[in-house]
Structures are given as structure tokens and as C-alpha cells.
Amino acid sequence: MATQQTQVLGRALLTPAVALLFIWMIVPLVMTIYFSTLHYSLLDAEAWRFVGLENFRYFLTDPAFLTALRNTLVLVGSVLAITILLGTPLALLLDQQVVGRSIVRLMVIAPFFVMPTVSALVWKNLLMHPVSGLFAWIATLVGATPIDWFNDAPLLAVILIVAWQWLPFATLILLTALQSQDEEQKEAAEMDGASALSTFIYLTLPHLARPITVVILIETIFLLTVFAEIFVTTGGGPGLQTTNIAFLIYSQALIQYDVGNASAGGLVAVVIANIVAFFLVRIVGRNLEA
Amino acid sequence: MARRVTARRIWVSTAAAWLFGFLIFLPILWMVLTSFKTELEAFSMPPKFLLFHWTTENYVTVQERSDYLHHAVNSLLIAGGSTLIAMIIAIPAAWSMAFAPTQRTKDILLWMLSTKMMPSVGVLVPIYLIFRDFGLLDRRAGLVMILCLGNLPIVIWMLFTYFKEIPKDILEAARMDGATIGRELVYVLTPMAVPGLASTLLLNFILAWNEAFWTLNLSTSDAAPLTVFIASYSSPEGLFWAKLSAASTLAIAPIIILGWFTQRQLVRGLTFGAVK
């Protein structure tokens, strides 16, 4: 069906998008690579010089980098664990017969649509404030001492905020997957006398393996670069306790104006993200009919 | 055959689901309640749930003192503009890949997807310097450009999956009847694609409205959308909870309502067809 004319037209229509994305990807990347080899500070822009891989050596051996890397891994790992361990039972629950299910689903999905700066500030002030926050009040109700979240457990506080934002995403995807599960297979298992637990372990869980993988990969891509939540609540502190890689690069670039070092850090971030992206693109590609 | 479900089981799952749902929704509910309190009551301990002096003064103050509307208009222009431009670039591209695929189409699609995975922070330095040198810092045009490029892969992908669902037979029938490609596009394809176009538009508008990396780094006041405006409440600790809540409620209410209409498309748009 694809005539020569359609082919030519097709290519013409595709070119602008491909060209734009190509420029968008390649120009900043090449500039980042170039800057990463320079000693270049915006505070003293005249004094730039070529330093080879010096910035990478500095960035990778900087204790701040190791701290930031650890914080990034803890943040990503914890949020993934929370969203999947809570999202799976929640999706199973919403897949049951529930009175008013659509309303419950609206409530569960809502956090995903709240802009990051709002969720971070509402959690920090209205919920987690050590004196007047809702959590502090609940703690005193049960006779516990309120936690001073942003002083005593700042990284945990950020993790909880981010997990709250991403729980709807995990739940919604797992729910979508559950609803495409073969009902007859489940019925057959039940008629053969399989318990609810073994139906779950041998039928539902394998069915969820793929969507869970997809949730892990997509969330990881976004969670590696959590920024706004840290920016408005802790500014990376106290000390470096909530500085992740993204925030470290930001502070080197726009607070210390160290272009060379921030660029080297940026490339490190690109490499880390690409490792995850590699697996995600493969999974998507296997599913794609073009 | 409907599955047998006992009344007791329905009752239990209903109670559990509502409890879960309520807990997840609580921060938003609490924020909305706080926005109608006085600053004093917002801070009071024990907290007041419904029996407080309801007032709308915070909403008035937020507009008068900080020009909320200016930032709301910025959000609207930036999110709307970037989404519309992305659609204009993406529709021909998606059409081409769905209806005139070549051997390289699959590779191109996957490559586009991979550009979305480039972490923004990796190119923060060059983008910031380019913006500074071209005078684009704190300008709406600059943000429209960046957000448009950032969301372009998702827009193309979503449109592609929608276009793929349009049965090719109908297009062939139209062609047999002598329709030109232009007519085919206007009279056959467009009406069938409207639902897909609408949900792509909606989801990407939401994503752009909530974008908080480039907006925080590239705008400060003139071009600042609501994400940046809300962030400005982070400096004074404590005393402005009711106003923060009012500003926040205004900033997220329209998007949550739009978002509820796009739940199904959310999965499609953000998983690139990997979950069905």
C-alpha cells in the first residue's frame, strides 16, 4: 500500500521532529562534554583553561559525590520499595468488588497530579511540622514524642513525600495490568480448589512481573533526578544529608558557578540514567509492532 | 459467568479500600481545609478539623499581595504553548510512522524514547549558559521551547499508539474511492483520531503544568509559572500556612480535575505501550 509517493511524504513529515530531537539531544550533550574538560568558573570566566579529565577525577573522588550517590540510591530504592509494596495490595484491593470504587480510585490517583513544589511544602509544613503538624498531633494522641522530621530524619522525610507522589503511578499501572488478567483462568483455578493464596502466587504474581519491572524502570528514570522536592524543603541539607546527584550538580552549577565540575557531574548522571534506560528501551522494543 | 462474591467480602474490601483511599487523599484534603482557616487557626494545636471560622480571606490576600493571577497566566501560556507546538510537530511525525512505516521506524521510535531518558540535570549547564547568552532567562518563550522539546517524545509516542489503532482498511477504502491524502487526512483520519489527540493534549498539558526542574532553574519572577511561585513560600517558615494552602489549592485544583479525566491515558502515555 505504501506507494513511493507516501514514502516520500512520510519522510518529509517525520524529518522536523527527528531533526529537532536530534539537535536537542546532541548540542547540549556535546557542550557538556566540552565543558567537562575545562577549568571554567563563571565567577572568573576569563581564566578558563583545558584540564583534560581533571574534573572527573575531582568529582568522582569528592566525598560529597559519594554521599550524594548513596543518598540517590537510598532515595530511589526506598521509594521503589514503598510504592511497589503498597501499590500491589492497593491495586489488588481496587480490583475487587468495592462499593464506590471509582471515587476511591480518584482519591488514590490525585497525588500524582499535584505539582512537586506543592506536595513538598504541604508535607513539610502542614503534616511534618514538629509542633503544629498533623503528624505531631497524631504522635501526641498516642503518647509518642513528635518527630522533628527535617532535622532528625531529613532523607526519610523526602523519601515519604516522593513515595506519596509516585504511589498512584505504581498502583494505576498494576491495576491496569490486573484488569487484563484472564478471569477464566482464575475461575478454573478456584474450581479446582486452589486457595486464594496459591492463585495469587502462581497466577497473579507471574502476570504482574512485567508491569512491576516497567514500574521499576520508569520510576527509576524519574527518581534518579528528584530535584524540586529537595530544593524547596531542605536545600540539600542539613549538611549533605539530603543532597542527591541531581542536587549536587545543581549546586555546583548555579550556586558555586563551577561549570567544568558541574559538567563532569552531569555526564556521570547521564551514564547512570543510560544504564537504566538501556533495559527499559529493550522491554518496550520487544512489545512494539511498528 | 459472574464470580460468586459474598456480601461480607464486598463489605471488607470496601472498608479497606475507602480507608486506604482516604489516607492517601488526606494531605490534599487537609491542605484545602487549611486554606479556609485564619493563619492563627491553621497553626493551632490540637488542629481544628471542620469547626473553625471558615474564611476566604486567604484567597483574596494571595491574589492582592503576590499577584497569583500573573503566575497562573504564565503557567497557562507555558504549558499550553509548549503542548500546542509539540502537537504541531508531532502529528505529522506520528502519522508518518503509523501509516507509512519503513524498516527504520521502530529504531526511530525507540531512539525518540531514549531522548526522554536523558536526565535534565545532565544538560543543565549548557542550557543555562545558552539561555543566559540569548537573553532567555526568565522569559516565557524560553520555557515554552524547553518544555516542548522535553515532552515531544511522549507526545509522538502517544499519538503513534493512537494512530496505530485506526484500522488501515478504512484508509484503503477511502483511497480506492479516489480520496487524496489531504482529503483522507481531513475527512477520515481526523474525526477518528480526535479522542486520541484530545487525551494526548490533556496529559502533556498536565505534565508541562507540573514541570519543576527547568521552571525552577530558568525563571525567577517575570516568567515564573505556579511551580516557582509556590516555591517562594518555602523561605518564611511557619506563619503563612493558610496562604500557602490557598495558593496551592488554586494551583492544583484545575489540574487534578483534568487529571481525573485522563487516568486511562496516563498509563498509555507514561509506559510507552509496555503495559496494556
User: What are the pLDDT digits (tens) for A12-53?
Assistant: 888 899 999 999 989 989 988 888 888 888 877 777 888 888
Across the interface, do A284 and B113 touch by the CB < 8 Å criterion?
A: yes
Kindly report the average pLDDT of chain A as a whole number.
Answer: 87
Residues in chain B closer than 8 A to A108 (CB atoms): 20-21, 24-25
Which of these, B242, B234, B233, lies nearest to B41 by C-alpha position? B242
* Residue A83, Cβ density class (10 Å: 0-12 exposed, 13-18 middle, ≥19 buried): buried
Q: Shortest CB distance from B89 goes to which of A17, A112, A288?
A: A17
Residues B148 and B198 in one domain: yes
pLDDT computed for residue B23 by the predictor: 95
- Is B1 part of a structural domain of the chain? no
| Cα–Cα distance measured from residue A152 to residue A112, given in angstroms and rounded to the nearest whole number | 27
Domain boundary among B38, B59, B80: B59
Across the interface, do A114 and B273 touch by the CB < 8 Å criterion?
A: no
- Is B276 part of a structural domain of the chain? no
Q: Are A242 and A229 in contact (CB under 8 A)?
A: no
pLDDT at residue B60 greater than cutoff 50: yes
Across the strands, what pairs with A38? A50
Number of domains in chain B: 2
Distance, first Cα to last Cα, chain B:
24
Residues B245 and B203 in one domain: yes
**pLDDT tens string A115-156:** 999 999 999 988 998 888 899 899 988 988 888 888 889 999
Residues B186 and B168 in one domain: yes
Domain boundary among B59, B77, B97: B59
Residues B211 and B87 in one domain: yes
Residues B48 and B73 in one domain: no
**pLDDT tens string A162-175:** 999 999 999 999 99
Residues in chain A closer than 8 A to B14 (CB atoms): 98-100
Q: Shortest CB distance from A1 goes to which of B128, B172, B263?
A: B172
pLDDT computed for residue B276 by the predictor: 64
Residues B35 and B116 in one domain: no
- Percentage of chain A exceeding pLDDT 70: 98
Which of these, A227, A91, A58, A60, lies nearest to A158 by C-alpha position? A227
pLDDT computed for residue B4 by the predictor: 60
Confidence at B3, pLDDT banded by 50, 70, 90: low
| A277: contact with B, CB 8 A cutoff | yes
Residues in chain A closer than 8 A to B168 (CB atoms): 1
| Cα–Cα distance measured from residue B192 to residue B25, given in angstroms and rounded to the nearest whole number | 36
Q: Which residue of B has its CA nearest to A23?
A: B149
Residues B50 and B109 in one domain: no
Across the interface, do B17 and A249 touch by the CB < 8 Å criterion?
A: no
CB neighbourhood size of B44 (10 A) = 13
- Which domains does chain A carry? 2-289 (1.10.3720.10)
Element (DSSP H or E) covering residue A49? strand A49-50
- Is B265 part of a structural domain of the chain? yes
Q: Shortest CB distance from A104 goes to which of B18, B172, B255?
A: B18
Residues in chain A closer than 8 A to B34 (CB atoms): 126
- Percentage of chain B exceeding pLDDT 70: 95
Element (DSSP H or E) covering residue A38? strand A38-39
Residues B100 and B203 in one domain: yes
Shortest distance, CA A283 to any CA of chain B (angstroms): 7
| A206: contact with B, CB 8 A cutoff | no
| A232: contact with B, CB 8 A cutoff | yes
Element (DSSP H or E) covering residue A39? strand A38-39
- Is B246 part of a structural domain of the chain? yes
Grid coordinates representing B272 are: 510507552
Domain that holds residue B166: 68-271
Residues B151 and B259 in one domain: yes
pLDDT computed for residue B209 by the predictor: 93
pLDDT computed for residue A166 by the predictor: 95
Shortest distance, CA B16 to any CA of chain A (angstroms): 8
Element (DSSP H or E) covering residue B160? helix B140-164
Q: Which residue of A has its CA nearest to B3?
A: A187
pLDDT computed for residue B77 by the predictor: 96
| A28: contact with B, CB 8 A cutoff | yes
Across the interface, do B106 and A168 touch by the CB < 8 Å criterion?
A: no
- Is B93 part of a structural domain of the chain? yes
Residues B139 and B51 in one domain: no
Give this complex's ipTM. Answer: 0.87
Q: Supply φ then ψ for residue B139, to 5 degrees.
A: -120, 140
Average pLDDT estimate for A179-184: 80
pLDDT computed for residue B45 by the predictor: 76
Across the interface, do A24 and B115 touch by the CB < 8 Å criterion?
A: yes
Residues B115 and B200 in one domain: yes
Residues B224 and B165 in one domain: yes
Q: Supply φ then ψ for residue A76, to 5 degrees.
A: -60, -50
